[in-house]
Amino acid sequence: MNPSTAVGKSTKFPFQVAVSCWIDLLGYGEMISASRFNPLHPDARDALARIRTFHRIVAENSARYFPTLVMNDGAVAYRDLSLRARAPTHDFLVRAWQMFDAVRNADIKSGHPGPRMVLACGFRMLGRRAGLDASRGHLKSIVERLQIGEIGAEQAVREAAAMRPHFDIVPQLQANFAFTKAYVAEQSGTRGKLPGPAFYVDMMLFGDCRPPWLDLGPDIDWVHPKLSLQTVFAEVRCIHNQRHPSGGPADIRDGLAIAQTLANDPNVLAALRAASK
């Protein structure tokens, strides 16, 4: 590795290279509108059962390095990539496929259209948990009163459990252009050449050759002219080998290689270092 691409362990940048996937239940809006958006209507039972199954499967597939945020009939998973290792990129792709496959199988088995998922990569800006920051004063008060004996441990636990921030965000999803690309592409649907049910992956995750352990459909040149977004997607039809050496397969990119492609700059680290000063 030459000096222009070397990454030190203590290197901190104001931007991260991120990967994100958005999954959405096809036809759910039509289901709930048929019940006039009334959960007590008899036609709403099937829609409610469908979304509960979806939430359960997403929860079962969530993990420390595959956190998710559910928003009604859609969900997003996200992760920052390593600038030095390919394994996190591969791990996220495999986990995304596993979640999509589980949702698809359950949904179609129940007679529903299935989901559409889009996985994309991009830069994201660092953020902060504003809602939790606003709660620090309350937490400090609980700890101080517990220490001086003003309240007991049981009351301290009750107060802490009852805390609800007035405002909260998921910082990893703010100014996250991987999430933006995945969401907008999924929403473009058939008109954007991404019909469902299907799982589409941003081909920027891979090198010049298609990985032999993936069954991929043809390249799809996707463009969103109003947002100046474009990339090449392909449908993931199957992942034949979901286990690879600890370093990850050689034909999937680490965060640095993806950053170089995103920025169209082989010296992207120099630009990141300059931005961090």
> What is the arithmetic mean of pLDDT over 82-107?
96
**Among 18-22, 81-85, 161-165, 172-176, which stretch is predicted with the lowest mean pLDDT?**
161-165
Q: Classify residue 138: in a domain, yes or no.
A: no
Q: Classify residue 10: in a domain, yes or no.
A: no
Q: Is the pLDDT score of 276 beyond 60?
A: no
**Residue 10's pLDDT band (boundaries 50, 70, 90)?**
very low
Q: Are 230 and 224 in contact (CB under 8 A)?
A: yes
pTM recorded for the entire structure:
0.84
Q: Classify residue 242: in a domain, yes or no.
A: yes
Of 191-200, 224-233, 248-257, where does the model show the most confidence?
191-200
Give the length of the chain.
277
**Among 177-191, 229-243, 255-269, which stretch is predicted with the lowest mean pLDDT?**
255-269
10 Å Cβ neighbour count for 247? Answer: 11
Return all residues near 73 (Cβ < 8 A) that are at least 6 apart: 24, 25, 28, 29, 51, 54
Alpha-carbon distance of 15 to 272, in angstroms, equals 7
Q: Are 121 and 81 in contact (CB under 8 A)?
A: yes
Report the CATH number that the domain containing residue 271 is assigned in CATH: 3.30.70.1230
Alpha-carbon distance of 272 to 277, in angstroms, equals 9
**CA dist list (Å): 146 to 44, 93, 157, 206:** 48, 45, 10, 54
pLDDT for 150? 85
| Tens-place pLDDT, residues 249-261 | 999 999 999 999 9
Nearest CA among 99, 144, 139, 149 for reference residue 119: 99
pLDDT for 3? 40
The whole domain housing 188 covers 15-129+169-276
Alpha-carbon distance of 267 to 3, in angstroms, equals 10
Q: Classify residue 217: in a domain, yes or no.
A: yes
Q: Classify residue 142: in a domain, yes or no.
A: no
User: How many distinct structural domains can be found in the chain?
Assistant: 1
Largest CA distance in the chain: 67
Q: Classify residue 64: in a domain, yes or no.
A: yes
Q: Classify residue 153: in a domain, yes or no.
A: no
| Tens-place pLDDT, residues 70-82 | 999 999 999 999 9
Return all residues near 69 (Cβ < 8 A) that are at least 6 apart: 75, 76, 78, 170, 173
Q: Classify residue 68: in a domain, yes or no.
A: yes
Q: Is the pLDDT score of 145 beyond 90?
A: no
According to DSSP, residue 166 is labeled S
